[in-house]
Amino acid sequence: MLNFDLLSQSQHFLALPRPDVTLGPLPRGLTDTTTLAAHDFDVDNRTGFMPPEPPLGRLPSEWETWEATLDSALAKRLKLYNGPTTTGYDRAESAAWRESVRKLPVLSIDKLNTSEVWLRRAHQVLAWIVQYYIHTHAEDDRPVIPRGITIPLLRVCQQLLLPPIITYSDNVLYNWALIRPRTPPPEQMGFEALLFPLSASSTASAPALDNLKCLMTFTGTRDEEEFYLSSARIEFRGVEALELMRETMDEAFVGDNTALRRITSYLQKLFAVIKDLAQLLAGIRQGCDPEFFYDQIRPWLKGQDSCPAAIEWVFEGIDEDPTFIQPTELSGPSAGQSSLISALDIFLGVSHDKDPTSEQWLRRMRMYMPRHHRNFLRHLENNPRPLKALVEANRDHPGLLDAFNASVESLKELRDTHVRIVAIYIAGPARRATERHGQTGAGGVKGTGGTHAMSFVKSTRNNTTASKLS
């Protein structure tokens, strides 16, 4: 938990001016909630960057048309245009569904602006419809996204400061439910439950990692569900890492020998937590088949920059509102959009600036994160007492340097695991696909986020190794 006695002192890390004040006023209808407490950055002390309660699974009836359109695509199990099992009948089904999308009216989002949760769900639903619309088209066809989707989606994106495409938060942070729902506490079992519904304050802890399921998947398969849930489990396990980071920064403010002993202890615990994250990442192999992922899941997640010849996505109706601008950020969801991993990098002083391409791409990926989480990372970067400098200045303190380097090493091992996952799920299947077509090599195959996947994950791994203190 945060030490609010320390917060009252003006030089504490979380008492500094917020970096988001330079961004100008928030869009009309939204409240500036980025105050001193971590939970006001939408970071919960029990669930971290994940919402404290299962995400909204359906919008109110006023926007039922969107939900029904997505329901139809999910129920029909629309197929990729060039999917390995796609038939002529499947393409006809998709064409009929796309025709229904073209007939959608432009719905107002004014009432959505009263609820962050509604806005998130609206972005999720509309962006998923876009992916279905794009990827049931022939790959060499110029897709035109109908105005009934374009206009409300761009307006939602103006409020959330997000691109009009599915993000990691759409597929991971806000795409889970409980297999076994929680039982409300005794005081909420009767009439009081009508007045005081179950809320975040009544949640004792994060859900058990084996009690999670997805709200939706493109393929309706356990493989795709496990792909998303592997990241969800990492986010929930990472809550302890965020707590250790907060406790460390509180002690760094004090900076005496007792504080240094405690920081050493926190870093030893952080080492163990990051080890667990690597194990959870490796666990994806138990539930998601690499060839199925490459052939039938990954194509649904592609953005414009991962499509053949960078085919332009056309947003119909963009000229109807002078506040709209042509979207340029259209990369697909990626683990690089995880605020947890970025927070670990910042906290441990891992720098990627020796590889400008990786550094620039990681910075770009912040534009795909929920805006409050972006503000959290900016605030973390503005910490006047960075951990790495503190360890450098106190390298003779017993155990401190070793504990710091062990934590960096565990983050490097997490990235080692990521390199192996990319090799198994992207590079290997890509190589076999090119060989089947009589070609040679994988040619630097791109990940869903638009990077050359293998070179990128190796670069971030090497940068992490270089961040240890000698």
Say if 322 falls within a structural domain.
Answer: yes
pLDDT digit string, tens, across residues 128-174: 999 999 999 987 778 899 999 999 999 999 999 999 999 999 999 99
Q: What are phi and psi of 208, to 5 degrees?
A: -60, 140
Q: What is the pLDDT of residue 438?
A: 60
| Candidate from 139-143, 176-180, 253-257, 402-406 with smallest mean pLDDT | 139-143
Over residues 30-76, the pLDDT tens digits come to 333 333 345 568 899 899 999 999 999 999 999 999 999 999 999 99
- Percent over 90 (pLDDT), the chain: 74
Q: For residue 42, is it within any domain?
A: no
8 against 243, higher pLDDT: 243
Domain of 292, in residue numbers = 51-179+207-465
Taking Cα atoms as reference points, which of 357, 356, 358, 329 lies closest to residue 418? 358
End-to-end CA distance of the chain: 32
How far is the C-alpha of 287 from the C-alpha of 224, rounded, in Å? 9
pLDDT at 445 over 80: no
Amino acid found at 388 = K
Predicted pLDDT at 193: 37
| Residue-level pLDDT at 309 | 61
Residue 18 lies in a domain: no
Lowest average pLDDT, out of 17-26, 86-95, 402-411, goes to 17-26
CA distance 231 to 366: 17
What is the structure's pLDDT at 305?
84
Q: What is the pTM of this model?
A: 0.86
Nearest in space to 71 (alpha carbons), one of 101, 44, 41: 101
Report the percent of the chain where pLDDT is more than 70. 83
How, if at all, do strands 314-315 and 212-214 pair? Answer: unpaired
Q: Tens digit of pLDDT for each residue in 89-140? A: 999 999 999 999 999 999 999 999 999 999 999 999 999 999 999 999 987 7
Q: Classify residue 253: in a domain, yes or no.
A: yes
Mean pLDDT is lowest, of 173-187, 232-246, 356-370, for: 173-187
- CA trace torsion 115, 121, 127, 132 (10° rounding): -150
Is residue 2 within 8 A of residue 37, CB to CB? The reply is: yes
Query: Looking at residues 212-233, what average pLDDT do you find?
Result: 97
Rounded to 5°, angle at Cα 172 from 125 and 129: 20
**For residue 376, what is the domain's CATH number?**
1.20.58.480
Distance (Å, whole) CA 378 – CA 296: 37
CA geometry: angle 203, 208, 213, nearest 5 deg? 100
**134 neighbors 143 (Cβ within 8 angstroms):** yes
Interatomic CA distance for residues 330 and 152, integer angstroms:
17
Q: How many beta carbons lie within 10 A of that of residue 199, not counting itself? A: 10
The answer to whether residues 122 and 112 touch, using CB atoms and an 8 Å cutoff, is yes
Please indicate whether residue 48 or residue 29 has the higher confidence score (pLDDT).
48
Asked whether the beta carbons of 265 and 251 are under 8 A apart, the reply is no
User: Is 60 exceeded by the pLDDT of residue 17?
Assistant: no
Q: Spell out the SS3 assignment of the chain.
A: CCCHHHHCCCCCHHHCCCHHHHHCCCCCCCCCCCCCCHHHHCCECCCECCCCCCCCCCCCHHHHHHHHHHHHHHHHCCCCCCCCCCCHHHHHHHHHHHHHHHCCCCCCCCHHHHCHHHHHHHHHHHHHHHHHHHHCCCCCCCCEECHHHHHHHHHHHHHHCCCCCCCHHHHHHCCEEECCCCCCCHHHCCCHHHHCCCCHHHCCCCCCCCCEEECCCCCCCHHHHHHHHHHHHHHHHCHHHHHHHHHHHHHHHHCCHHHHHHHHHHHHHHHHHHHHHHHHHHHHHHCCCHHHHHHHHHHHHCCHHHCHHHCCCEECCHHHCCCCCCCCCCCCCCHHHCHHHHHHHHHHCCCCCCCHHHHHHHHHHHHHCCHHHHHHHHHHHCCCCCHHHHHHHCCCCCCHHHHHHHHHHHHHHHHHHHHHHHHHHHHHHHHHHHHHCCCCCCCCCECCCCCEHHHHHHHHHHHHHCCCCC
Q: Are strands 314-315 and 144-145 parallel, antiparallel or unpaired?
A: parallel
Quote the tokens at residue 30. Answer: 């939204």
CA nearest to 145, candidates 206, 92, 69, 52: 69
Q: For the chain, give the mean pLDDT.
A: 86
How far apart CA 64 and CA 72 sit, in angstroms, is 12
For residue 198, pLDDT beyond 50 = no
Q: How many domains does the chain contain in total? A: 1
- What is the rounded distance in angstroms from the CA atom of residue 87 to the CA atom of residue 61? 35
The answer to the question of residue 5 being in a domain is no
Residue-level pLDDT at 39: 52
Compute the distance between CA of residue 100 and CA of residue 87 in angstroms, rounded to an integer: 20
pLDDT at 308: 64
CA pair distance 422, 428, nearest whole angstrom: 8
